[in-house]
Structure 1
Amino acid sequence: MIPPTALHQSDYRKGEAVFWQDDPTRGIFCVESGQINLQRAMQSGHVVTMHRATAGTLFAEASLYSDRYHCDAVCIEPASVICIEKQEFTRRLAQEPDLSLAYGKLLATQVQTYRQTLEILSIKSARDRTLVAVSCGYLSGPVTEFATRIGLTHEACYRALRQLCDAGMLIQTGRGKYALPDPA
């Protein structure tokens, strides 16, 4: 177990950063409440979301083996976050096989999710990409956030959603809410 002295809880407002790209790493993080985007600004100015951390999930896992963070961690809503000190966590991983196995399983699951995301991002058609991403459960927050997660402008994403609804491939269930039609 990680001792309480190696855990540091912080609260953040919407828009605040837990860390910025190139900040020195201090640990990995667990989201108690709220949502954090791991994102990187491209040279074009377009921001790409690489991961969205939600309540009960970890983020910045790769920082255990890096001196600096490789992206920004920005709160997309108010959030409560626990930082697990890097040095203590890596020491525990080396000493506690059960913790190492659980952490390895978590990372393996994340690799599967990232591969799925890469497959979705490789779909050229905005309409097809949007349909696949909705069917995989990626649309769980605002449409603008969803668009960022799947590498589309929010305008292209809204157009694709409208086209999919018009074609009967999606049903709009509320503002910014979409679902696949029931297979009957």
Structure 2
Amino acid sequence: MEYELPVPCPPAREFKNMEAVKTVEDHPHLFKIVTPIKVDVLEECLASHPNPAFVSSVMTALKKGFWPWADMHHATDFPITWDNMRMSPQSGMEQQFIAKYHDEEIAAGCFSEGFRPDLIPGMYSTPVHVVLKPHSEDFHIVSNMSAGLYAPNRMILHSDIAGSHLDGLHTL
């Protein structure tokens, strides 16, 4: 019988990234964990699941947040903070869609309120743009985690995610 491995927790070294830790401690309102899932109810329903280690790891991640496998100890090759918001909407329709999406996500508690003009130490921003849904006039929001010299995806070792089921633009 095959079992999915537990969802990984951040390694201890990630908590030594003092700039990022201080940012989270000083600005907890920017890092709320929001989910429509009633975690305690789900956990109760899965009490007899045949893979308790996986279930426990997912419940912990739903309560405390998922670790994206990123190694934030980038030594000298990555800056502490990086603003990679370089893409502009191509049309007024795209701009309206992005603004509406942004406002809806803030209202739902999924995006934090703005804190510009500058990113806080330990933060990275990524380019956001829209693409048309296949066979439709509707848009999708795309956060391009692979764009740019200091792309967040460059902080993830391929060996760390080998075998994991990740989504991408083609799965939208």
Using the size of structure 2 for normalisation, the TM-score is 0.24
More strand by share: 1
Using the size of structure 1 for normalisation, the TM-score is 0.23
Larger relative contact order (Cα-Cα within 8 Å, sequence gap ≥ 6): 2
